[in-house]
Amino acid sequence: MTRDVLAEMGYLALGSRMKRLAERMQADATKVFADRGLPIQGTHFPLLAALTTYGPLSVTEAVEAVGISQPAVTRIHNALQKLGITTTSRVKGDNRQKLIRLTAKGEALLEELKADLWPQVRRAAQGLCEGEETDFLSWIARLEGALQDLSLHDRIRSEGASRHPALRLVEFDDRLAPEFDAITREWVEAMFTLEKKDIEIIENPREKILAPGGEILFVEADGLGIIGTCALMQVEGNVFELTKMGVRETARGLKAGEFLLQRTLERARQMPIGELFLLTNSKCAAAIHLYEKAGFMHDADIMARYGASYARCNVAMSYDLSKPPRI
């Protein structure tokens, strides 16, 4: 029995199934061109159609007219130019701008296609779409319009967001000091022993972090309250440590850690920080992966300078605030 996994997957495979359909139709078009001794390919059609319909176009105008990427338009033009079908010319008064246009050979080819082959292709494609269903071209237009309004990427993100409570950044308030203490104790004591320095910081956050110019941030989730925290603590001069980042065990899976780290790094960029680092332990594999994803780099120099701050520390990482954010 013939199996068709894309058909069986339904809407999950919609994009792949449409791509397969387009490739099959383009392959047939290529055979038709070969039968007639034509040098063009099915993939050349969008740009040829735009040029014969609208006349000479800049690359930007062609991208807009055809609805495909700039590299794709350039590739098609380059292929057609080698065949002598398209060329470029300067825009009068603007030497920086070039227009893609049909050559005399290209115009003759298009007139031949419009008179003979295109009507045949139109009738054949229309025959494929005949049936009881709604007009296929109208369906395609609705799909394109829906994607223009909201891309599939954004729709998928919205689906994911709807399954999780909304996350919000919350600034430090003395009333939240117990939350800072409790969240830190929870994750440290789950894997390590709370050290003297931990206790000094979490029991005196205003004195140890805020007063010297640091920040303490929290993440709050709808229906769950405060679920995570992270701090930026001055070590010396303009050297700061990203520290005490943790998320409650009951809130794992909500991407709160990624949210909190991103917001904390955004805050760090607004502060007079010359050097930013963190200290952790190799047992914290998930956290290290998140730090690496964000752009933190393992740093032997930081380890040598500050690693002795905690007995549990065997990993030190630094972050270059001059580089664009990754998350």
Strand 275-280 relative to strand 239-247, pairing: parallel
- C-beta separation of 240 from 234 below 8 A: yes
Q: Strand, coil or helix: what is 164?
A: coil
Q: How confident is the model at residue 87 (pLDDT cuts 50, 70, 90)?
A: very high
| Cross-strand bridge partners of residue 171 | 217
Domains and CATH numbers, the chain: 5-128 (1.10.10.10), 167-319 (3.40.630.30)
Torsion 262-266-267-269 (CA) sign: positive
The answer to whether residue 19 scores a pLDDT higher than 80 is yes
User: In the block, which residue shows the tokens 């419009």?
Assistant: 114
Q: How confident is the model at residue 158 (pLDDT cuts 50, 70, 90)?
A: low
Please write the tens of the pLDDT for every residue from 306-317.
Answer: 999 999 999 999
* Cα–Cα distance for residue pair 95/283, rounded to 1 Å: 60
Please write the tens of the pLDDT for every residue from 24-70.
Answer: 888 888 888 888 898 898 889 999 999 999 999 998 899 999 988 88
Per-chain mean pLDDT for the chain: 89
The answer to whether residue 160 scores a pLDDT higher than 60 is no
**DSSP character string of 292-309:** HHHT-EE-HHHHHHHGGG
Q: What pLDDT does residue 13 have? A: 85
